[in-house]
Structure formats: C-alpha cells, structure tokens
Amino acid sequence: MMNLKFMAMLLSLVVVLGVMFIYVYPIYRFRESPCDSSKDLSGDGHLFRSPDLHLVATDGLKYPQPSITQGRTDIVSVTPWLAPVVWEGTFHPVLLDSIYQKRNITVAATVFAVGKYIRFLKDFLETAEQHFFVGFRVKVYVFTDRPNEVPKVKMAAGRELVVHSVPNSKRWQEISARRMEIIQTLIEETLNKDVDYIFCLDVDSKFHSRWGTESLGELVAVIHPGYYKDDRSKFPYERRPTSRAYVAPGEGDFYYCGGAFGGVLAEVHQLAQTCRKNFEDDAKEGIEAAWQEESHLNRYMWLNKPSKVLSPEYLWQDFKARNSEVLVIRFSGVIKNYNEIRPN
C-alpha cells in the first residue's frame, strides 16, 4: 500500500517536472540566451522576436510611393535565395532609420591596425564619424599592437572607441587570418549583452558616403569590387580540395570580400568560429588557403547564404575607376604600397 502511494507521488512529481521542462525551460532559455535574438526590440513587450523581423514604421512619415514595376533596371537587387542586394536607389534611408531608431540599436565595428597599418586608423575613424551609422549608438573596437599610437578622434555622443592590444606577427597572412579568432572571442566575452549588430572592416579604407541601417541583416556579406562581373570560374576561391576552404568548379554564388562582413552577433560568431577552426585545421596539415580567411569566408557563405548582400558600393578600391552602375561609393580601400607596409 505504502509502495503504491509512493509510486503515485513519484509519478505526479515526474509529470510536474515534465510539464515544467516543456513550458518553463524554453522561456528561461530564450530569456538567458547569450546571443539574445529574443530581446524585446520593438519595445512592446514581445519576447521571442528575431531582431531583424517585424519592421515597425513611424506613423505620419512621408516618403515616395514604392513601385514594383519602376526603379533601377541596370542592376539586380535580389539573389536567387531572395536576399536583397543593396544598391543606391533600392532603399529609403529616412524610412529605414526611423524603423531602427525605435529599436534603440547598438552597432559594433571591429578594425585591426597592427604594425604599420596603424597609419590608416585616423582616416578610418574620422570618416566613420561622418558616414557610419550616424545618429546611432556605435562602438568601434580597435585591435592594435601600438595602443599608444591610436589617434585621438572626437566622437559624437553615443559613439565610443574601445582599444584592445593584440600581438604583432612576422606574417601579414597571420595578422589578417587571426582576426576571426579575435572576433569570435570578442563576441563571446564582451559583446553578448549590449550590442545588436557587428561589422568587421579592413582599416586601410575610408568611408565616403552613408553606410547605415540599410546594411543591417542577420548575416551580411559584401560583394568584392574586383570580380562582380566575372564568371564564377574566374573567382579566386581556394581550388585545392585538400583545403577546408575549397569551392568546386561550378559552385559559388559571388566572390565576397574578407574586408567587410557583419550581421547579428550569433551569426557572425558562428562564421568567425567556423572560419577560424577551418583555417587552423588546414594549418595543422600545412595548408594555407589562397586568400586566408577571405577564402574560408567565401566557402562559409556558399553553404550559409547571407540574408543580405551589399553591393560593391560598400567596398570599392580607390585604384579602380567607378563603374556606371555604382552611383555611390560608400567605403573604399586606399591605395597602398604592399611591400612597404607589410611585415613580409
């Protein structure tokens, strides 16, 4: 009899615990998730909302009527997996800013200035003040081996510069590739609570025009300015099957830049972690991909399609004449003397 009572009590306990696990645990898990994509971004009390969905407009805002039959005809503004490709003329900046202002977002940017690349930092930071997410909360994370040489740049209210020391290296390839490891660690250790989006950018570049809310997305890639009219067989992907960055002939969508990518923290963390691991596992077998982490990023984006693609307006190169479809150059690499500036 005693045993039966005990069994019944045990059964009830198991049922109660089961119900708690099914209903309560997911709520707890979503609330406490380190890359908290459920954050109440609309400000209206809804949990479980992805940061990039549910666009709440400002009542009374006037802007030109959108059309689905008129607009730019000289470019393609959607990928085959239906991600937007952002070009000038495909978005309305005031509308987008009003949507994201409501969400009170914080955007982080990472930039590495190791060795002689410190000389590019002043222009990068000054032009970012003029063009990069103006009017939004921005945190620029600078990684350098020369913290004393970081220039003093006046930043607007709500914008902040954070300097981290990193070691130098005898090989530029290693400096460039190690960025993935450092970005992964930064997201894990520092960013997971107060930053919504992150962009990882090359320092030897300047902003020339708006780079703002139109670029926000879950996983964001930038199309390389050097190859966007080429057949995929010409893309400088890693072509050795022994490398984890390998892209087979007939595969690959676009050739993306290593010099600019971004998205929400969870996505960029997964990208950085994967590229870092594949780079390191290749290294253990004596392989270095053709374009280091850029090759691994291209492999990653082939399998994990970016939810938003930025046109080459978002990373041009100063030595290239502007093509007619590029109405605006927003960010562009400066001309540099590789032999003089690199450690090897």
Among 211, 293, 299, 332, binds ligand UD2 (CB under 6 A): 293
How many chain residues interact with ligand UD2 (CB under 6 A)? 22
In degrees and rounded to multiples of 5, residue 146 shows phi and psi of: -125, 65
Q: What angle do CA 94, 96, 102 make, to 5 degrees?
A: 100
Is the Cβ of residue 137 or residue 342 nearer to ligand UD2 in the bound state?
Answer: 342
Is 294 catalytic? The answer is yes
Tell me how far, at minimum, the Cβ of 206 lies from ligand UD2, in Å: 12
Q: Restricting to residues 201-230, which ones interact with ligand UD2 according to CB under 6 A?
A: 202-204
Q: Which of 294, 313, 325, 340 is catalytic?
A: 294
312 binds ligand UD2 (CB under 6 A): no
Sheet (strand 256-264) strand order: 85-86, 308-310, 219-223, 256-264, 197-201, 106-113, 137-144, 159-165
CA–CA separation, 311 and 329 (whole Å): 10
Beta strands at 205-207 and 256-264: parallel, antiparallel or unpaired = unpaired
272 binds ligand UD2 (CB under 6 A): no
Distances in whole angstroms, Cα of residue 6 to Cα of each of 15, 128, 181, 253: 14, 69, 54, 63
CA–CA separation, 344 and 341 (whole Å): 9
CB 305 within 8 A of CB 254: no
CA–CA separation, 293 and 142 (whole Å): 19
186 binds ligand UD2 (CB under 6 A): no
Letters for 26-65 (x = contact with ligand UD2 by CB under 6 A, - = none) are ----------------------------------------
114 binds ligand UD2 (CB under 6 A): yes
Is the Cβ of residue 33 or residue 168 nearer to ligand UD2 in the bound state?
Answer: 168
Is the Cβ of residue 115 or residue 263 nearer to ligand UD2 in the bound state?
Answer: 115
Give catalytic residues, as residue numbers. Answer: 294
**Contact residues: ligand UD2, CB under 6 A:** 112-115, 117, 172, 175-176, 202-204, 257-259, 291-294, 315, 333, 342-343
